[in-house]
Structure 1
Amino acid sequence: MVTTVSALLQLLGHAIWLVPIGALGLFRWAMWLAKRIPALFYRPIENSFTCSATIVTPVYNEDPALFRRALDSWIANAPDRIIAVIDVTDTTCMAIAHTYPQVTVIPIDIPGKRPALAAGVDAADTAIVVLVDSDVIWEPGVLRKLTMPFADPTIGGVGTRQHMYPSDGQRATLWERLADIYLDIRYADEVPATTRWGRAVSCLSGRTAAYRTSLLQQLREPFLHETFNGIACMSGDDKRYTSLILQNGYHTWNQLNACVYSTFNPRFGGFVKQRIRWSRNSFRSDLRALWQGWVWRHPYLALMLIDKTIAPFTLLLGPLVLGLALVLGNWPLALALVVWWHVSRAVKIWPHLRRQPRDWLILPVFIAVTYYMSLVKAYALVTINEHKWLTRAVAMVDGKATRVSEAAQ
């Protein structure tokens, strides 16, 4: 009898460990299904609508060969105009742009991406302006697909489907492959879901996004003079434009059949710095949207913003339970956790694994990085008032975008 009771108590001790992580797991799966199910019903808009369009690209210290290839891909899409706003220090790309008769060059000596974007938008005189990063390569037909949703006068901005392009043009590094996984997660679930339910995408990525020109010109001042906690913002231009569009009563849409290719930092340090900057931008924008209240006009988007804010911190419970299980010698629980992580992550990134089967080999690395990114996001939240680009020699100093040394980034 004593042996039986002891065995039951030991079994109960193992089961108690599973209660918090099981409840949290059910919540996370429910939120994933809340994105995955509506995403299945997404379809891109297809019609015969056309309109005039200008491409605006801010250029700073770009790889010359990549910039030339990007220009060629845009020209192949036949825009009405291409405006390259080029930092005066980037004389190589300026010389390249001048060799293209289709490109209007605007030199700019004000550091920072926002002033460059604003200058290009001011110079645009077409119905649509497409903001494009200088390293982004387009597939044929991207511009045509981007303009179709603007047949609806309530749509103010349209995004694209991004893919990773190796920085050396040949073979992707581990960190570029991980970036590609994160892209596929976003474009398999969150983006089509928020597009389908509510037509309110939280961020039209700055790598390529189209807007009504007149609308962006009207939003020039709040775009250039965004602050958070009284501090001027420098990065996060795409989140800012998207938020302003939604805040002013327009809808946002993503055309997932309009595919573009962009480079990502190929090294671990750059990968983490990009994630810190993006996380800070997201926290600033999402917390402001929830606080100001306009996002509640889009209930589904509001739910997604709340989930994105708390999700990184709920993930930390898993490694904590694993660590305690190892310390206390609860090997069955530790093994069950590790196996479950691999199964659940494989299910959630299945669209990527189907497209890139070789990435089954880096699934354990992706799982470890996912939990590490939770710590990175916690750090980003604690340092939310820091306004540094981290991967560019530009930072906010006394409320102005200023060139700084590499060490000061």
Structure 2
Amino acid sequence: MSTPLLTARVHRSGMVLSAAVTLLAAAAWAAHHAVQAANYGNTTGSRLAVVWGVTFLLLLAQTLMYHAERTHRPTTRARRQLDALHVAVLVPVYNEDPGYLRLGLESLLAQTRRPTSVHVVDDGSTNGDYANLRAWFTWAAAEAGITATWQRTSNGGKRHAQAAAVRVSPDADVYVTVDSDSCLAPNAIEEILLPFARPKVQSVAGIVLATNHRTNLLTRVTDLWFTTGQLTDRSALSAMGAVLVNSGPLAAYRGAVVRDNLDSYLNETFMGRPVMFSDDSLLTLYALLRGRTVQQPSAVVFTALPEKASHFGRMYMRWMRGSTIRSLWRLRYLPITGWAYWAHLIRWFTVALSTTVLGWLLIVEPLKYGNRPPVSFLLVPVLIGWAQALRYLGVIRSDERIRHRALTWLLMPSAVLASWTVLRAMRWYGMATCARTGWGTRQNGAEVALATPTSPELPEADEDTVQLPLVKLLDPDTEATLELALPAR
């Protein structure tokens, strides 16, 4: 009997594009109405009209671009060439929850296109040595015909753990990087390899969804915000072959991109301090300097999101500090003739423009001119958020019905409010403190644990009698059990 697996796919629809354009038009009308209704005067009103006009032109261009992204489908001959590639999966581990780690390892063994090798590196975890899990995985990988290694090294950071895995797989044609809590959809590796049929493609990003998205309000809104960002901003960049940042839970790189830059990857410094984070964006930068970087919407991975505000805050601050450092490197190294360079500048232009407008409307106008912004201005960011988050509704998950995703979509005003206030302040604070280059999370053990218990560890028994353990997830809608396991021999 076949075992059901946790899966998802991104559905493309002309209705989504039409609805997004309609909501953007409504937001433009709301902005125009607010400018006309406010007592800003002819000069200020005209300037604001120009600002909003530029904003909506950029949003419209981005909307058309992310709908232009296509899933790569190579020819039969190209597929055979891809099947012959040596694909090595790099799995750095540090203080990970054993349940999530097992879930991820089992998903690697259950791939429709199994990797050639999987290399786990325990980066000096302080909450255990995963001995039982290591014994099970070594056996299960051998049963699946996959070369597997499991090293334990002294703590040196994620990059050094990945480098240790690279050194034991020097002949790999493609390196697939995952996180220790990554649970891949059954066809994720097969799909993420397809864009490499084009010689110019140097790296491929997967789509990251949350495993624990229904835990609480924070995980719901974070999943909505994170998924929407991938399917709008990153999809638009992918259409131009200029993805700026791949996600850690699932990305793939040509072997030479990683090996040729390994020394600089391990020894990056900023203001005299070693950089411990922003590893995915640096690998993506190396790939950009050699060719195209794209996203494959059909390559899906599930990961654990922070379930507490303090954990999310540390993670986001690390992202913002890393983003600041990486922005400086892009300005320095990306060719000015490439689309990625200008896409990067446009992104920072929109951040600066929106921050300036927000400060003007909420501070300058009320204090200096006595003009309060009209309530109708509140509709503008909400409508824009809902327009972009329509892409979230296009994600079809095996463990969730569309009505529940629609309820999450309605929470977009919460994400917009957080983005315009708390996250914006954290962004600028992260820029100001970017010299703090430490990792900042999981120093005292795993911060997120798998809610449902895993099966017992591999028992000490004869190989012929050992049964492969399962990891089970409960579907909250149907109460059916989703099991991840290696197919029976």
Q: After TM superposition, is the score higher than 0.5?
A: yes
2:103 aligned residue: 69
1:103-142, aligned counterparts within 5 Å? 103-124=148-169, 125-142=171-188
1:365 equivalent to 2:414? Answer: yes
Contact 2:90 2:176 in 1 (8 A): yes
Q: Percent identity?
A: 22
1:236-255, aligned counterparts within 5 Å? 236-247=278-289, 249-255=290-296
Question: Which amino acid counterpart does residue 407 of structure 2 have in structure 1?
Answer: R
Contact 2:257 2:286 in 1 (8 A): no
1:289 aligned residue: 330
Write the deviation string for residues 6-45 of structure 1: whole angstroms up to 9, x where unpaired.
Answer: xxxx975466554444333222222222322122221111
- Unpaired runs of 5+ residues, structure 1, are 1-9, 395-402, 404-409
Query: What SS is found at the alignment partner of 2:96?
Result: coil
Q: 1:93 aligns with which of 111, 117, 130?
A: 130
| Distance apart, 1:243 and its partner CA | 0.7
Query: What SS is found at the alignment partner of 2:299?
Result: strand
Contact 2:275 2:438 in 1 (8 A): no
Classify 1:28/1:184 alpha carbon distance in 2 versus 1 (closer, same or farther; 3 Å). farther
1:275 aligned residue: 316
The worse-fitting range, judged by mean Cα deviation, of 88-97 and 122-131 is: 88-97
Write the deviation string for residues 125-177 of structure 1: whole angstroms up to 9, x where unpaired.
Answer: 3322211101011111111112222222222211101112217xxx3322222
Write the deviation string for residues 223-279 of structure 1: whole angstroms up to 9, x where unpaired.
Answer: 1111223332110111111111222x2322211111111111112222222121111
1:399 aligned residue: none
Query: What SS is found at the alignment partner of 1:55?
Result: strand
1:336 aligned residue: 376
Question: Which amino acid counterpart does residue 235 of structure 1 have in structure 2?
Answer: F
Q: 1:259 aligns with which of 300, 320, 325?
A: 300
1:195 aligned residue: 238
1:148 equivalent to 2:198? Answer: no
| Distance apart, 1:194 and its partner CA | 1.7
Query: What SS is found at the alignment partner of 2:336?
Result: helix
Classify 1:329/1:12 alpha carbon distance in 2 versus 1 (closer, same or farther; 3 Å). closer
Q: 1:226 aligns with which of 255, 264, 268?
A: 268
Query: What SS is found at the alignment partner of 1:82?
Result: strand
Task: Flag the structure with more relative contact order, 1 or 2, with Cα contacts below 8 A and sequence separation at least 6.
Answer: 2
2: CA distance between counterparts of 1:20 and 1:68?
56
Contact 2:224 2:412 in 1 (8 A): no
Query: What SS is found at the alignment partner of 2:276?
Result: coil
1:81 equivalent to 2:110? Answer: no
1:46 equivalent to 2:82? Answer: no
2: CA distance between counterparts of 1:387 and 1:36?
35
2: CA distance between counterparts of 1:387 and 1:253?
28
2: CA distance between counterparts of 1:375 and 1:105?
41
2: CA distance between counterparts of 1:134 and 1:73?
12
Query: What SS is found at the alignment partner of 2:71?
Result: coil
Q: How many residues align?
A: 379
Write the deviation string for residues 167-207 of structure 1: whole angstroms up to 9, x where unpaired.
Answer: 7xxx332222222122223222222222221x121112121
Contact 1:155 1:252 in 2 (8 A): yes
Question: Which amino acid counterpart does residue 301 of structure 2 have in structure 1?
Answer: V
2: CA distance between counterparts of 1:334 and 1:257?
43
Contact 1:70 1:135 in 2 (8 A): yes
2: CA distance between counterparts of 1:184 and 1:22?
31
2:18 aligned residue: none
| Distance apart, 1:95 and its partner CA | 3.2
Aligned-residue Cα RMSD (Å) equals: 2.6
Contact 1:39 1:196 in 2 (8 A): yes
| Distance apart, 1:288 and its partner CA | 1.6
1:59 aligned residue: 93
Contact 2:73 2:194 in 1 (8 A): yes
Q: TM-score, normalised by structure 1?
A: 0.85
Query: What SS is found at the alignment partner of 1:350?
Result: helix
Write the deviation string for residues 304-340 of structure 1: whole angstroms up to 9, x where unpaired.
Answer: 2112224333323226514566677756x43111122
2:24 aligned residue: none
The worse-fitting range, judged by mean Cα deviation, of 380-389 and 19-28 is: 19-28
Q: 1:22 aligns with which of 38, 42, 49?
A: 49
2: CA distance between counterparts of 1:28 and 1:301?
20
Classify 1:318/1:135 alpha carbon distance in 2 versus 1 (closer, same or farther; 3 Å). same
